[in-house]
Amino acid sequence: MKSVIKGAGYILCHVPDMVLHNGTTQTTEMIVNPEGEYLKALPSHLRSWEDVLEYWPNQVYIGNKTPDELAAVPQPFYTTPCDVKERYGHFGQMMPQEEFTLLMQASDVFDLVWLDKNFVAQYKEQFAANPMIDETIVARIKDGIEISEIERLVKEEHSEGLYHNGTLVGCVKRAHDIDVNLSAHVMLENIVSKASSVLALIAGVQNAGYQKADIEYVIDCCEEACGDMNQRGGCNFAKAAAEIAGLVSASGSDSRGFCAGPAHALVEAAALVEAGAYKTVAVTAGGCTAKLGMNGKDHVKKGMPAFEDMLGGFCVVIGENDGVSPEINLEILGRHTVGTGSAPQNVISSLVTDPLDRNGLKVTDVDKFSPEMQNPDITKPAGAGDVPQANYKMIAALAVKRGDIPKADMPAFIKDHGLTGWAPTQGHIPSGVPYIGFAREDIMAGKIKRAMIIGKGSLFLGRMTNLFDGISFIIQANSSAEAAAAAGVSEEEVKSMIAKAMKEFAATLLAQAE
Amino acid sequence: MDLENQKRVLGFAEQYGPENVVVLLGAAEGEASGLAAETVTAGDPTFSGPLTGVSLGLTVFHVCEPQVKEEFDQAVYEEQVGMMEMVLDVDDIVSEMTSIRDEFCKYLG
């Protein structure tokens, strides 16, 4: 039986001070042009918590608004405040910097994160009140230390400062005196990734309707690496985050592939479940400090807010076929192979049309495509254009070349089969996966039957190969009733089987409650 | 333009002589093409890479410009670039590239 998507979690963490201190555009500028206009101007372009709450793309990311609603908002989105300003949404939440700083400390198991005791006292109660943060995580919060000691650690011990509203409130210590892989800078990046993955995992598991102990395997697919000088990319962020999230029955491992990582990881997760190796697999990724303010120079130059102030995280939970949830169809996989080449035409053919051809489908048989879902507010001022739109134009152009649609229908195809981008430019975060939560809902509501998730990765960034990379898969309406009917089982019998399974599940819950 | 790419362009210009180097772009937008073209001709407009203050004046084209298209085997061009040609705003790219070349290129007759 095909595996199914049981639920998804999406979280954002608003970290304006990290934009200044940890984004590589800014840290590079501090080295090459420390007295330049950009670093002077940037702080006045940072957004407030209220600004990010009323920002349309953020409300779509956490599920309070839909991509269709976003499509009707005039661009740039930031000029139209969203009517919903909630920090919690049905996919997850937006977390403010003060809570995220505490979550970082709670996620650290090597006494590397130290916070000012007054900061902890001020925000611990607020942190504990967050409904996704349970008592086991709150219990991990330490009382904190004197700010003078934190100042000393930053000045004398190469610690990376943690700031809130421009004030030093904590630090991340180096984990080794000599090993650059365990430097304070690397540890900060990795703890941020881990902490935001913890929050995403909690959201994903909750939304999938599972107990924490139900998750058997976790795959992390972020773009960071952890390890010491003898195994720089040893990793297993997955298990590290699962521990803090309380997934006691889970094992895990990491999968990497630049921005294509999440799509690769989801295919692996679906295969593991379909093969019966694990019943439930959570695919997760936290956010990336390096990319904060990545296009800040263009935003500042054009008088816009510095939009890249949100760490992104997501979690998709794959489970055994329940007869209801949308399935991942592993028979329709798009593969960018070593021999495919890097011309856009070859890339799109290998990911979109080749897998459809192999299964006798046309481009128009896919109701929605979810390629790189970057928010155009961020990318357009930086000269990168509207990335999702560029992808849709390529898919439409290919459909025209193949004769699936007439050229005149390109705009209508793009509107009907495309989506407006809403994801923060956090590398792996926008790559196909932001739509999975909505795709699950749209398929279950009967609005669409089939969605294609497309992940693409720029492997040349690692200087190991000039090859491009990509992978795609199809999410489709649950077909187990049809399959059963074809196998001679009636719809009534399927319904009765599902009812029986639900009764057994309820009995288990009751037994646990007792 | 990526700092590492700037370094490589500078390296090639030094190795082969700037008059012997042609930079071929594949950027998706007129503005991005113009910025890259400006970087390899007038110097890095963002003042952050190795080409800051270095006016190489290299010959630079976008792959969708007609002069470049003529140089290709048309079957290969159609296979490799045909789809993107349909997608990109070629007129905008040509206009950006032409204005940068007219102003900063040192090696076009």
Angle, CA of A45, B47 and A287, to the nearest 5° = 50
Which residue does chain A place closest to B27, by CA atoms?
A384
Nearest CA in chain B to A414: B87
Q: Classify residue A116 by its DSSP letter.
A: B
- Beta strands A4-14; A310-319: pairing state: antiparallel
Q: Which tokens is B99 given?
A: 């204005």
Task: Write the residue in A32, A345, A385 that is nearest to B83 by C-beta.
Answer: A345
The answer to whether B22 contacts chain A (CB < 8 Å) is no
For A233-262, letters b (16+ CB in 10 Å) and e give eebbbbbbbbbbbbbeebebebbbbbbbbb
Could you tell me the residue range of the domain that residue A445 belongs to?
A: 327-485
State whether A345 and B84 contact (CB < 8 Å): yes
Cβ contact A343–B82 (<8 Å): no
User: Which residues in chain B are closer than 8 Å to A394, comparing Cβ atoms?
Assistant: 83-84, 87
How far is residue A271 from each of residues A212, A238, A338, measured CA to CA in Å? 22, 18, 22
Among A32, A397, A400, the residue with its CB nearest the CB of B48 is A32
- Angle, vertex CA A249, rays to CA A243 and CA A250, nearest 5: 60
A464 within a domain of the structure (yes/no): yes
Task: For residue A5, tell me if it sits in a domain.
Answer: no
Give the three-class secondary structure for A311.
strand
CATH number at residue A361: 3.40.47
In a domain? residue A56 = no
Of B3, B29, B46, the CB nearest to A385: B29
Residue B80 to chain A, least CA–CA distance (Å): 6
How many structural domains compose chain A? Answer: 1
A356, part of any domain: yes
**Closest CA in chain A for residue B48:** A32
| pLDDT string in tens for chain A (514-residue length) | 999 999 999 999 999 999 999 999 999 999 999 999 999 999 999 999 999 999 999 999 999 999 999 999 999 999 999 999 999 999 999 999 999 999 999 999 999 999 999 999 999 999 999 999 999 999 999 999 999 999 999 999 999 999 999 999 999 999 999 999 999 999 999 999 999 999 999 999 999 999 999 999 999 999 999 999 999 999 999 999 999 999 999 999 999 999 999 999 999 999 999 999 999 999 999 999 999 999 999 999 999 999 999 999 999 999 999 999 999 999 999 999 999 988 888 999 999 999 999 999 999 999 999 999 999 999 999 988 899 999 999 999 999 988 899 999 999 999 999 999 999 999 999 999 999 999 999 999 999 999 999 999 999 999 999 999 999 999 999 998 888 888 876 667 667 767 776 776 676 566 656 5
B100 reaches A (C-beta below 8 A): no
Residues 6+ apart with CB under 8 A from A360: none
Cis peptide before A305 (omega within 30 of 0): no
CB contact under 8 A, A401 and B35: no
CB pair distance less than 8 Å for A344 and B84: yes
What DSSP string describes A478-500? --HHHHHHHTT--HHHHHHHHHH
For residue A164, give the 3-state DSSP assignment. strand
- For chain A, the helix, strand and coil percentages under 3-state DSSP, each to the nearest 5: 45, 20, 35
Does the residue A447 lie in any domain?
yes
- Measured between CB atoms, which of B3, B35, B82 is closest to A383? B35
**Most distant CA atoms of chain B, gap in Å:** 41
**Are residues A394 and B83, on separate chains, in Cβ contact within 8 Å?**
yes
Q: Tell me the ipTM for this assembly.
A: 0.71
Whether A350 is covered by a domain: the verdict is yes
Question: Does some domain include residue A507?
Answer: no
